[in-house]
Amino acid sequence: MADETRKPAPYTEADLSLIKRLIPHRYPFLLIDKVRDIVPNEGAVGIKNVTCNEPHFQGHFPARPIMPGVTIVEAMAQTSAVVVGISMDLIDKQMLTYFMGIDNCKFRRMVVPGDVLELHCKVMRGGGKIWKFHGEAKVDGQLAASADFTAMMDLSPNV
């Protein structure tokens, strides 16, 4: 006999449609295409397909396009915000996420159009308004960037 009070299985993957229901970012600042391997309160892997059509490549740099480091860190943060949204059941709740700190940030490899950026994000501390994460951005298994970052979740915005 099935337990009628049992909660549905948590999301283990978020496509673009679900991502937009969890975080407020939109073009040109929505920097993730998919999130997979979601484990609530633990982490996930975001996917960013880097293309030459992105607006930052017009100026960074026209002759040799390189994804800016700040956008790589932001993509890690957006992946982490999806983890928070799934962990706290915040689908369609209009949560905003604000950076509070970025520590130990390092860039090891250029990210260029054609790359598939994997954003491995791990929850270090969470469960309330303040969450801390460790993120690693990888291309073809090679570390491109890493950072520890802290964010505050605002659950009462009018966006």
**C-beta separation of 119 from 146 below 8 A:** no
- Residue 143 is inside which H or E element, if any? strand 142-154
Active site residue 60: yes
Beta partners for 133? 123, 149
Considering the candidates 25, 60, 120, 134, report the single residue annotated as catalytic.
60
Cα–Cα distance measured from residue 58 to residue 85, given in angstroms and rounded to the nearest whole number: 32
Instruction: In whole angstroms, give the CA distance from residue 152 to residue 159.
Output: 16
CA 129 to centroid of chain Cα atoms: 17
8 A C-beta contact, residue 132 and residue 124: yes
At 6, give phi and psi (nearest 5°). -65, 135
**Residues with active-site annotation:** 60
